[in-house]
Amino acid sequence: MCEVCGTSLNRRDLAGDEVWNCDGCDALYLRKADGTFLRRPFPPADQRWAAASGEAGVEHAVTYTATLCGIDRDAVIVLRHYWSAARPGACAECRTAADGRVARWPAETGR
């Protein structure tokens, strides 16, 4: 369970480390050999989500499964830079969702 917001974690099969993520606040955890979870520090909010291109130059913030505004990840093109709420084309719904997630983060790096 996520120590930040209490949502259950999802395992993401990535090469090497066993990584788990939280869909409630986008915390990332590494599972250690003894079974305990080590939460990674949150990065700055503009280095948390990859950008994905939508219609008419709109950029969505994308997680492992979908954009923050609910579009399936397979339906968008993931770009090679981070999504930032400050960009002119940033999706308004993604911005609202991102604000909600960032508000759950503990007071450390990343706001």
Q: Which residues pair with 20 in a beta bridge?
A: 11, 29
94 binds Zn ion (CB under 5 A): yes
Stretch 4-23 residues interacting with Zn ion (CB under 5 A): 4-5, 7, 22
Tell me the number of residues near Zn ion by CB under 5 A.
14
Among 19, 20, 27, 50, binds Zn ion (CB under 5 A): 27
90 binds Zn ion (CB under 5 A): no
CB of 104 to Zn ion, least distance (A): 6
51 binds Zn ion (CB under 5 A): no
DSSP 1-44: --TTT-PPEEEEE-SSSEEEEETTT--EEEE-TTS-EEEPPPPP
25 binds Zn ion (CB under 5 A): yes
What is d(CA 93, CA 15) in angstroms, rounded to the nearest whole number? 32
